Copies of this chain bind each other. A is one copy, B any other.
Amino acid sequence: MTSGSAYTEQVELHGHIIDSLLLPKVLDIVLEQGGDFELLEVRIGRRRQDPSYARIEIRADSADRLRAILQQISLHGAVPIEQHDCTVVAADQDGVYPDGFYSTTNQPTEVRIDGEWIRVADQEMDCGIAVDPVRRTARCVPMAHVRRGQLFVVGHRGVRVVPVARDRQVGHGEFRFMASDVSIEKPKRSLIERIAHAIRAARASGKKIVLVGGPAIVHTGSVGHVCRLIRAGWVDVLFAGNALAAHDIEYALYGTSLGVYLDRGEPAHHGHEHHLRAINTIRRCGSIRAAVEQGVLSAGIFYECVRHDVPFVLAGSIRDDGPLPDVITDALVAQDRMREHLRGAGVALMIATVLHAIATGNLLPAWVTTVYVDINPAAVTKLIDRGTVQGIGIVTDVEAFLRQLCDLLPA
């Protein structure tokens, strides 16, 4: 936004504008849409029942952008000071709105006819507004009901929305259930790009990148992606449990994970024993590092950690088999080891492990960028409910996420 924004318009906002979050919402939209604002006048009611008033100058660097901003904030009741009647155009075909038709929301709506604000009847979302200028009436009409010659509102001039006030009587308990934030229907690529950006920024500023991973990294065939990240220096410390390490090593030694050959998806005979044999093999060597040095372990995530001196903390749990000799079986000792390694963290990337992600989230200050990836929306929700609200949750396939992330971080 340059200072030379030539396009401006003044809008007004009435009502309980602070209490009801309207003013901040309007300002938010202006900034998000690439505009800027100046609060020309703000009169805030002293008590909660007192009305407030704001006069705001909106600025943008193009007429288009300004119009876009005005349209969007009009949905929250911010209307230009100079007001106009609504514009109507006759439908030229049955079942088709005129071009540029105003598309309704389900909020109470009014249109201005001959200087008077008229409430729209039959309020329904995704309709057009048919106006009868003689009777001074307006109502929502579904697309399939449009009749040729019917007058419809076009554009946003002369239309205003009167948002439903938040009902304090019903209380917050319910309305916290209102908006969906862990959706599986949103495009993910741009989100992954931002995560890659945050990781590069962390490294550039000398902050640590912490990877916290569960065994689904192995089961989904993502070992190669994580190895690439480690080799390219994108992982400063790895937190995991016995399972990730055991299955990574199982895969390195047998080509299986949970006994299933990852390249063909078929179970190995006696494959369910592989992870136990893998653990036994490492216990015989004494440690993962010793297994690498003795040439017993020569591939996989933990092999790369040893080779590239990436420290790891394996925290034990009561469901562990074995466990591997590197596993810290005492939870308090493991927490302290994690605390040490989290000093200086910039990004925590948590993949498919509720237990370790919550544990790490508990130890992190709010200013560390925290990303949680899981195919299970409930897992993402659970993590965020535990207080790690700064988290970015992504509901997706772990393998798909890691592959795309690798592509965005230079090897």
Q: For chain A, residues 131 to 178, give those with C-beta under 8 angstroms from any C-beta of chain B.
A: 142-144, 164, 168, 170-178
Q: Which chain B residues border A178 with CB–CB below 8 Å?
A: 181, 384, 389-393
Contact A280 B97 (CB under 8 A): yes
A204 contacts partner chain B, Cβ-Cβ < 8 Å: no
B-contacting residues, A379-407, CB 8 Å:
379, 381-382, 384-397, 399-400
Chain B positions within 8 Å of A257 at CB level: 187
**Total count of chain A residues near the partner, CB < 8 A:** 148
Q: Which 6 A-B pairs have the closest CB atoms?
A: A190-B265, A400-B400, A103-B273, A68-B269, A123-B365, A397-B397
Cβ 8 A contact of A334, one of B258, B280, B318: B318
The answer for the CA separation of A185 and B377 in the assembled complex, in Å, is 14
Contact partners of A118 in chain B: CB under 8 A: none
Q: Which residues of B contact A182 (CB under 8 A)?
A: 177, 180, 182, 381
Q: What residues of B have a CB within 8 angstroms of the CB of A142 in the complex?
A: 335
Identify which of residues 238-276 in chain A touch chain B, using a CB-to-CB cut-off of 8 Å. 257-258, 260, 262-267, 269-270, 272-273, 276
The distance in angstroms between the C-alpha atoms of A379 and B395, with both chains bound, is: 15
Q: Beyond A179-B181, A317-B355, is A48–B21 a contact (Cβ under 8 Å)?
A: no
Report the nearest B residue to A322, measured CB to CB: B143
Q: Is the CB–CB distance between A188 and B220 below 8 Å? A: yes
With A99-B280, A108-B366 given, name 8 new contacts (CB 8 A). Answer: A95-B325, A124-B362, A124-B365, A144-B322, A180-B181, A180-B381, A184-B375, A185-B382
Contact of A18 among B27, B72, B99, B358 (CB under 8 A): B27
The interface residues of chain B lying within 8 Å CB-to-CB of A96 are 280, 283-284
Q: Which of B32, B317, B378 contacts A359 (CB 8 A)?
A: B317
Min CB distance, A195 to chain B, in Å? 9
